Every structure is written in structure tokens, then in C-alpha cells.
Amino acid sequence: MRIIAGTYRGMRLSAPRTLAVRPTTDRVKQTLFDILASRIEFEGKEVLDLFAGSGSLGLEALSRGAGRVTFVEKSRAALRTLEQNIRTLRCNDRAIIHQADVFWFIRNVFQAYDLVFVDPPYSLETIGSLPALLAGSGLLRPGTYVVMEHSRESDVPVPVDAFDTTRKQFGQTVALILRARDQAGKGTSP
């Protein structure tokens, strides 16, 4: 696992030694960031990385110029790896870590972000509730992009009135690229 582009390009990241964490592959990450780069400018963006694991997605965003990334992870083992990766990249001043349950965080934090990564364990029973929960949270503003990965076996309904949706499939992985609509239900300009 490595940083693909930007300031930290080529730097290797550690991954937690647990089967509960499934890091995004470099191939999927490359494709997702290529799509995002054609839609947004990373410079100075506020990014949220939910189910952060090793922090691969959020750290890639920092490497590409994001202003700050907030990482949310519950697992102590994953947090130790995330902290190690942040130290390796020397980006402590642009990284905020919360050890918290993601569902609690979504319901109780009211800071809006420009880009949100959601990479839950595929076996998570409530995975299908995440798009609707995010749509009703205080974490998004019109135009916020949400990138969510899930198994193609999972039923993950997306509220059509809340998001413009792009789906990409990579073998067993489905990536949703969601763009939050404004209150009137119309898309906003990037």
C-alpha cells in the first residue's frame, strides 16, 4: 500500500495486522482519485475519512493538497497503524484523529466537509443505512463528494433526492461516488 500522487508520492503505508481491516487496493484508489481529480481541486479542502483504518484514503487526499483530514476509527489496532502512517508522512499538523464509533460521529458532529470517504467493513450489517444517514447529517454541504466502498453483495440504497450518483465496480467491490445536492434537490456546480 502506497501513496499514489502528490507530495508524498511513492511513500509506503503500513496496514493493520487484523482481518477486520480491508485496505483499499492501489488500483481502486488510483481510479477513485482520478475520477475525483476531474471533479474537484484538492487544495485546501476539508476531508473526512470514516472507518479510516490505516488512513490510506485520507492520507492520499493530504498528499494531493487537502488542507486537513479528520480520521474516524474505532479499532485501537487500526488507530496505532494510522498514527504510525501520519508520523511517517510528517503530516501531524493537518491530521485530526477521533477514536469513535462512526455512527455516533455522524449523528453528533455538525461540521461540514468538502469530501467524505466511507470505507466500512463489508460485513457491517448496517452498511446500507450509511448514505441516508449521511444525507441527514450535518457533515455535508451542497456539492460535497462522498466516496463509499461496499461489496457488490450489499444492498446500499442511495437517496436520489439527496445525491447525484456514479457507481463503479471493481470485481467484488462497488464504489459509490455521491455528490450532495442542494436543498431544492438540484445538483450544484463543482
Mean pLDDT of 76-86: 95
Grid cell 474516524 in the structure block, residue: 72
Give the global pTM: 0.91
Residue 21 belongs to some domain of the structure: no
Residue 14 belongs to some domain of the structure: no
Where does the pLDDT of residue 122 fall: very low under 50, low under 70, confident under 90, or very high at 90 and above?
Answer: confident
Where does the pLDDT of residue 184 fall: very low under 50, low under 70, confident under 90, or very high at 90 and above?
Answer: very low
Supply the CATH number for residue 136's domain.
3.40.50.150
Question: What is the C-alpha separation between 2 and 18, in angstroms, rounded?
Answer: 18
Where does the pLDDT of residue 16 fall: very low under 50, low under 70, confident under 90, or very high at 90 and above?
Answer: confident
Which three cell numbers mark 67?
A: 488542507
The DSSP annotation for 55-71 comes to -HHHHHHHHTT-SEEEE
| Per-residue pLDDT at 123 | 85
What's the pLDDT tens digit per position in 32-73? 999 999 999 999 999 999 999 999 999 999 999 999 999 999
Q: Are strands 68-73 and 95-99 parallel, antiparallel or unpaired?
A: parallel
Beta-bridge partner residues of 23 = none
pLDDT for 187 beyond 70: no
Average pLDDT, the chain: 90
Q: Total structural domains in the chain?
A: 1
Question: What is the C-alpha separation between 10 and 38, in angstroms, rounded?
Answer: 21
Phi, psi for 8 (deg, rounded to 5)? -100, 15
Q: Are strands 95-99 and 163-170 parallel, antiparallel or unpaired?
A: unpaired
Residue 30 belongs to some domain of the structure: yes
Residue ranges making up the domain that contains 133: 26-180
Residue 47 belongs to some domain of the structure: yes
For residue 120, the tally of other CB atoms under 10 A from its CB is 20
Residue 151 belongs to some domain of the structure: yes
Where does the pLDDT of residue 189 fall: very low under 50, low under 70, confident under 90, or very high at 90 and above?
Answer: very low
Residue 84 belongs to some domain of the structure: yes
Residue 186 belongs to some domain of the structure: no
Residue 188 belongs to some domain of the structure: no
